[in-house]
Amino acid sequence: MDALAIARACADAMWADDVASRALGMELIAVEPGHAVLAMSVTEAMVNGHDLCHGGYIFMLADSAFAFACNTYNQRTVAQHCAITFVAAARRGDRLVAQATERMRAGRSGIYDVTVTREEGFVIAEFRGNSRAIEGEIVPGLKPRGPARAKP
Amino acid sequence: MDALAIARACADAMWADDVASRALGMELIAVEPGHAVLAMSVTEAMVNGHDLCHGGYIFMLADSAFAFACNTYNQRTVAQHCAITFVAAARRGDRLVAQATERMRAGRSGIYDVTVTREEGFVIAEFRGNSRAIEGEIVPGLKPRGPARAKP
Amino acid sequence: MDALAIARACADAMWADDVASRALGMELIAVEPGHAVLAMSVTEAMVNGHDLCHGGYIFMLADSAFAFACNTYNQRTVAQHCAITFVAAARRGDRLVAQATERMRAGRSGIYDVTVTREEGFVIAEFRGNSRAIEGEIVPGLKPRGPARAKP
Amino acid sequence: MDALAIARACADAMWADDVASRALGMELIAVEPGHAVLAMSVTEAMVNGHDLCHGGYIFMLADSAFAFACNTYNQRTVAQHCAITFVAAARRGDRLVAQATERMRAGRSGIYDVTVTREEGFVIAEFRGNSRAIEGEIVPGLKPRGPARAKP
């Protein structure tokens, strides 16, 4: 399998397992090695009396995009430290999109940047996650099959 | 009103307005000027297929405790930047407690530390929030009545 | 003046004023609106007995690049919050390069990402700075002269 | 040796090795298991043309206090991630004090909070450091001798 196929297989397995993200109505829009895009609409259960979205739900969308992005290499990887800056408010009915991009990986550590926007592109929050690879595969037995390994 | 009565009146008003925190089953255990304690049980909707709580819900509990703690002076105050370190996993059925403590306030800025533990005290996450006071009161017209203002 | 000329005039004025960065042997390699590149060699005064660079000097290089990048619009801007992840060690004699890039600006707030590498491109540290614009110009009287303002 | 004696032996060994901190005129005021207090005066080389201290030097003092505090158990421990909020300016001639306190340790990870004040107690900056224990002792062969190990 090539890197993209592995990334997608990992995302499918994680998605099947991630009750929490699905229960919030998140959609997995795209996934590539080190990247993921998720979307979520702000529902009535996510807002306060002024129709403003609780910051925790914005974090949750960003955190899910981070988790999908850092788990695209079939090595189980967890969040260690996350930081979020809230830039603007989100309101009931807004459709939010989180784009997670890998900034670096070195050894077992990685850094991922996630930008959360309203669908039209206006920035709501900027998130940075520090990940750490742990023991275990996401899809047991999945093997990379790239040029460097093609032939003995 | 003294500072404690103001803190409680602010918390009551915020609680009435905070659909999101209540919908997650959070409980407001205690509030004082600059401090707040909230609790939440990890439900089936918050976990993945291995019964591990999504980090976003741990963040949400910490973030709510932060919001209640920094809004105890009857001046509307919002989260600007939050950072969380995940120390240990939480599981379905765990009752989590978040203790928010004010570290400092200077001008319109404040820093609050929140420790999230399992009920028995084992640390799950450490959170730090940077707040910023904005225009507006939480309970319009509420007036402090302390020693420094007692004399005409 | 166009945006690039303003950015350079701001950088020149800051550089003339920044005794601390110059005293450490920093060099200002490039500056554009929202961007700055600085370099610094790790000297004997910056290391411990094992020739490893004190993390504080890596931070200082990143922080200076951040300061130059966020002060390219002739509006005085200060660091509010900075976070740094140390990825690899730097040693005596290494020439470090910090590239600061603007991630976003909204109102008076901004976010800048700085990557510190060894000269050959190996990542040493990833830094993110949150800035806030304050009162005052960097070069008093400097006026932007762009297409939108060219003609009445 | 008891825990306090070990902490002090570690600090002595680190101090002897830490050319960078000594070159900046830092003083090691106190050390205990998980705690350290350092002081530093803002010199002419640390300020800009307006006598304001470069934020990097404030970070460096906090970072050094963090390093001394997390290395009090005779297990080599390094900084992974640090965040600092700048609360107020420091000026030439100010004597700054950094107090580092351990917030938690779990496995190989730790979190330390450092408050930097002017000598009279006014807060300049709040710092939080995430540490990670690595292989190796600070003082080879140093053995704890506590109640739990007293009996053969």
Instruction: State the pLDDT confidence band at A2, using cuts at 50, 70 and 90.
Output: very high
Residues in chain C: 152
Taking residues D87-91, what's their average pLDDT? 96
pLDDT, residue A144, reads 65
Note the pLDDT tens digit of each residue in C29-71: 999 999 999 999 999 999 987 889 999 999 999 999 999 999 9
**Separation in Å, CA of B139 to nearest CA in chain C:** 28
pLDDT, residue C8, reads 97
Taking residues D4-26, what's their average pLDDT? 94
The pTM (predicted TM-score) of the whole model is 0.93
**How does A93-126 read in b/e, with b if 16+ C-beta sit within 10 Å?**
ebebbbbbbbbebeeebbbbbbbbbbeeeebbbb
Mutation to test the B interface, candidates C81, C84, C103, C132, most B Cβ within 10 Å: C81
Instruction: State the pLDDT confidence band at D87, using cuts at 50, 70 and 90.
Output: very high
Structure tokens at D54: 């470069």
Taking residues D20-25, what's their average pLDDT? 92
**In chain D, what residues touch C45 (CB-CB under 8 Å)?**
19-20, 23
Domains of chain A (ranges plus CATH)?
3-139 (3.10.129.10)
> Could you tell me which residue, D123 or D147, shows the higher pLDDT?
D123
Share of chain D above pLDDT 90, in %: 84
pLDDT, residue C120, reads 84
pLDDT, residue D149, reads 43
Q: Residue D60: closest CA among chain C residues belongs to which residue?
A: C56
Q: Distance between CA atoms of B75 and B144, rounded to whole angstroms?
A: 12
CB–CB of C22/C64 below 8 Å?
A: no
User: D45 vs C19: CB contact, 8 Å cut-off?
Assistant: yes
pLDDT, residue B32, reads 98
Instruction: Inform me whether the pLDDT recorded for C19 exceeds 50.
Output: yes
Q: Distance between CA atoms of C19 and C31, rounded to whole angstroms?
A: 18
B130 touching C, CB under 8 A?
yes
Taking residues A108-115, what's their average pLDDT? 97
Note the pLDDT tens digit of each residue in C92-129: 999 999 999 999 999 999 999 999 999 888 999 999 99
Note the pLDDT tens digit of each residue in D27-70: 999 999 999 999 999 999 999 878 999 999 999 999 999 999 99
pLDDT averaged per 10 residues in sequence order, chain B, 152 residues: 94 93 95 98 91 95 97 96 97 97 96 95 97 95 60 41
A13 touching B, CB under 8 A?
no
Q: Distance between CA atoms of A87 and A124, rounded to whole angstroms?
A: 5
> Could you tell me which residue, D18 or B35, shows the higher pLDDT?
B35
Instruction: State the pLDDT confidence band at D74, using cuts at 50, 70 and 90.
Output: very high
Q: Distance between CA atoms of D114 and D129, rounded to whole angstroms?
A: 8
Share of chain A above pLDDT 70, in %: 94
Q: Where are any strands of DSSP class E within C14-145?
A: 27-32, 35-41, 77-86, 95-106, 109-118, 123-133
pLDDT, residue D145, reads 56
Structure tokens at D57: 């030097």
DSSP 8-state assignment for residue A72: -
Taking residues D116-145, what's their average pLDDT? 91
Using the Cα atoms of residue C59, residue C60, residue C65 and residue C69 in order, give the sign of their dihedral: positive
pLDDT, residue C145, reads 56
**Separation in Å, CA of C110 to nearest CA in chain A:** 9
* Beta-sheet pairing, B77-86 with D27-32: unpaired
pLDDT, residue A148, reads 45
Write down the residue that tokens 């703690």 correspond to.
B69
Output A114-117 pairs: Cβ under 8 A, ≥24 positions apart: A114/A62, A114/A65, A114/A66, A114/A69, A115/C103, A115/C104, A116/A58, A116/A61, A116/A62
Structure tokens at C59: 């931070």
Instruction: Inform me whether the pLDDT recorded for D146 exceeds 60.
Output: no
